[in-house]
């Protein structure tokens, strides 16, 4: 597993950034329409990805591949985040992250059914343990995880986002074997930005809302974390099996719970720390098996 440590660290960073971004999205969502926030998020994200100007050139994509990557980007970056932003209007960040953390189970099931991966008992046990940790967080620490009363649409939106995330995790891999991860991420995110700008205009949502400086800082962090996080996500997918990368989404709800506790000026509950221990042990088990060539 030693040669995969960089990819595992990248996947872990993504899970942590997802949890942090959900907390900040929840904070600004009352003042920023979902489509506007998604547009700003990926406008900033794609600018971050274009910073290394000496490597900003796109490779020569086959037309069919370019269209495929663009469509995946619209689903992965635009539609998925639109659903999550709608969910976070009515669902606490920790609860939303918990729903999203079921992505590893969905990814593994889809990968096995599509014969992209072999069934692995250790990985299954590890993913189940990690998911058990976040389920325990929701059931044993409702004050930290939040409640979901009257949030049926929000939960449904979060489930839809999770299904999209699991599906695109599998569909990206063939492209990542042919093209660099950074260039692929740029193309996918640029397609999402163009889609979101058109969507905002179609639904009469502003592209540049009036926000306070702290709110702009929150939006800026969300955007930067998206650019960095999704590059790490695609880079890890190019080196590891999709279910192994997706397993680290279990870090999202625990990160969200810890941040919400700290922002509330209280120490994380003992239940949160126990959930974190279960998640870490589960991830250790899930990453013990070797990746497919």
Helix (H, G, I), strand (E, B) or coil at 210: coil
Of residues 145, 147, 128, the one with CA closest to residue 250: 128
Whole-angstrom distance, CA of residue 113 vs CA of residue 264: 43
Asked if residues 187 and 46 have their Cβ atoms less than 8 Å apart, the reply is no
Q: How many residues comprise the chain?
A: 293
> Domain-by-domain residue ranges, the chain?
1-121+146-265
Whole-angstrom distance, CA of residue 172 vs CA of residue 188: 10
* Segments of the chain scoring below 50 in pLDDT: 54, 144-145, 147-148, 291-293
pLDDT computed for residue 169 by the predictor: 80
Whole-angstrom distance, CA of residue 278 vs CA of residue 126: 9
pLDDT computed for residue 177 by the predictor: 84
pLDDT computed for residue 71 by the predictor: 95
Q: Which residues, 6+ apart, have CB-to-CB distance to 227 below 8 Å?
A: 44, 45, 46, 47, 48, 49, 189
Asked if residues 252 and 107 have their Cβ atoms less than 8 Å apart, the reply is no
Whole-angstrom distance, CA of residue 46 vs CA of residue 35: 16
Task: Read off the pTM.
Answer: 0.73
Of residues 108, 240, 90, the one with CA closest to residue 162: 108
pLDDT computed for residue 69 by the predictor: 93
pLDDT computed for residue 197 by the predictor: 94
pLDDT computed for residue 289 by the predictor: 56
Residue with tokens 């606490």: 92
């Amino acid at each position: 597993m030693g040669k995969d440590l960089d990819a595992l660290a990248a996947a872990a960073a993504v899970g942590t950034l997802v949890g942090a971004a959900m907390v900040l999205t929840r904070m600004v969502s009352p003042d920023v329409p979902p489509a506007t926030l998604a547009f700003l998020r990926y406008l900033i994200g794609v600018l971050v990805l274009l910073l290394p100007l000496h490597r900003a050139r796109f490779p020569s994509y086959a037309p069919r591949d370019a269209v495929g990557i663009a469509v995946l980007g619209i689903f992965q970056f635009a539609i998925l985040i639109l659903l999550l932003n709608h969910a976070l209007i009515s669902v606490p960040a920790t609860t939303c992250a918990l729903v999203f953390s079921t992505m590893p189970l969905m990814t593994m099931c889809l990968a096995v059914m599509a014969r992209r991966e072999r069934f692995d008992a250790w990985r299954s046990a590890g993913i189940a343990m990690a998911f058990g940790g976040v389920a325990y967080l929701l059931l044993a620490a409702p004050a930290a995880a939040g409640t979901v009363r009257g949030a049926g649409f929000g939960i449904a939106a979060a489930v839809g986002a999770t299904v999209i995330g699991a599906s695109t995790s599998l569909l990206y891999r063939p492209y990542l074997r042919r093209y660099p991860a950074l260039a692929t991420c740029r193309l996918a995110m640029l397609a999402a930005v163009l889609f979101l700008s058109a969507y905002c205009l179609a639904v009469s949502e502003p592209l540049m809302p009036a926000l306070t400086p702290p709110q702009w800082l929150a939006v800026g962090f969300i955007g930067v974390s998206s650019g960095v996080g999704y590059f790490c996500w695609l880079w890890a997918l190019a080196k590891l099996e999709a279910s192994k990368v997706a397993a680290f989404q279990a870090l999202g709800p625990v990160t969200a719970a810890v941040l919400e506790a700290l922002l509330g000026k209280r120490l994380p509950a003992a239940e949160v720390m126990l959930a974190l221990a279960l998640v870490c042990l589960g991830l250790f088990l899930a990453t013990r098996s070797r990746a497919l060539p």
